[in-house]
Homo-oligomer: A and B are copies of this chain.
Amino acid sequence: MTIDTSRAAQRYDAVRRKGRAGSRASLPAGPDELRKAPLFADVDEATLSRLSADARIESLQDGDTLFHQGAGVTDVSFVMSGYVKLMRMAPSGRQTLIGIRSDGEMIGEAPAGGDEIHAVSAEAVGAAKALKLPAPRFARQIKESPSLCAAVLRDSKERIARLVGEIESLKSQNADQRLAHFLLALCPPDEDRCRFRLPYDKRLIAARLGVKQETLSRAFAKLRVHGVRTETRNVHVESVAHLAEQCGRPGARARLAFQAS
């Protein structure tokens, strides 16, 4: 369920972090970069250029931390390339993956003014670039620009919908069904037979689905019977329709897996 147990996680992090440079490249950014974030798609130009005044782009390496849970919110960040994972740290040291951001998505919550604190920690998964805006400036613009405010409102709703979906699947589906759902979302549209690449490694996918790596591996094995083949990161789906059928049935899979073995 969690990414790792406390002691194991510490070891794991120690390994990943070895030999990484401490300094980060940071470049200024303009309104054009901001516009790439869907959040800003409908925000007026004037607001955007005000927002971008102190914007900068940071380059991150695998494992770099953007911010820690509990720390004060100084910036609003957006993923410009790569992936960023959001995690909750329990007092015990246990880490739980909350979500993964990519492609212009906002990392964390939009600051609305006042003293705010990060509810999660954010860390780069592989090399990534992040766009950062100072939080106070963003909070001021939210109050002054109706289009920005509307955009943030809409974005919050999408976020909530996603989280609700997440809770539903954690409560009502088993690991196999969650994996089927996950893969289904990755299949390109309009093709029944398809092939694609997993966006990140299986360890992370497992954490995203809320299971252990071993369990994920076995779930993949069960899907083989249903025409889903994997070679490391590449996935081959014989029939998307057939895969979709696997999303809502607990019993059928066991029977078929038995026949195949």
Contacts and interface: CB of A to CB of B under 8 A. Distances in A.
A134 B96 CA distance: 39
Interface in A82-123: 88, 90-92, 94, 96-98, 109-110, 112, 119-120
A101 to B, nearest CB: 14
Most buried by B among A120, A164, A248: A164
Contact of A112 (B157, B167, B171): B157
A41 B110 CA distance: 21
Nearest to A97: B171
Number of copies: 2
Contact of A160 (B2, B88, B159): B159
Interface of A: 1-2, 88, 90-92, 94, 96-98, 109-110, 112, 119-120, 142-143, 146, 149-150, 152-154, 156-157, 159-161, 163-164, 166-168, 170-172, 210, 248
A210 B168 CA distance: 10
Given A112-B154, A112-B157, A153-B149, A120 B164 contact: yes
Contact of A96 (B150, B152, B171): B171
Contact of A172 (B94, B146, B160, B166): B94
Most buried by B among A88, A91, A143, A154: A88
Nearest to A94: B172
B172 A1 contact: yes
A42 to B, nearest CB: 12
A251 to B, nearest CB: 12
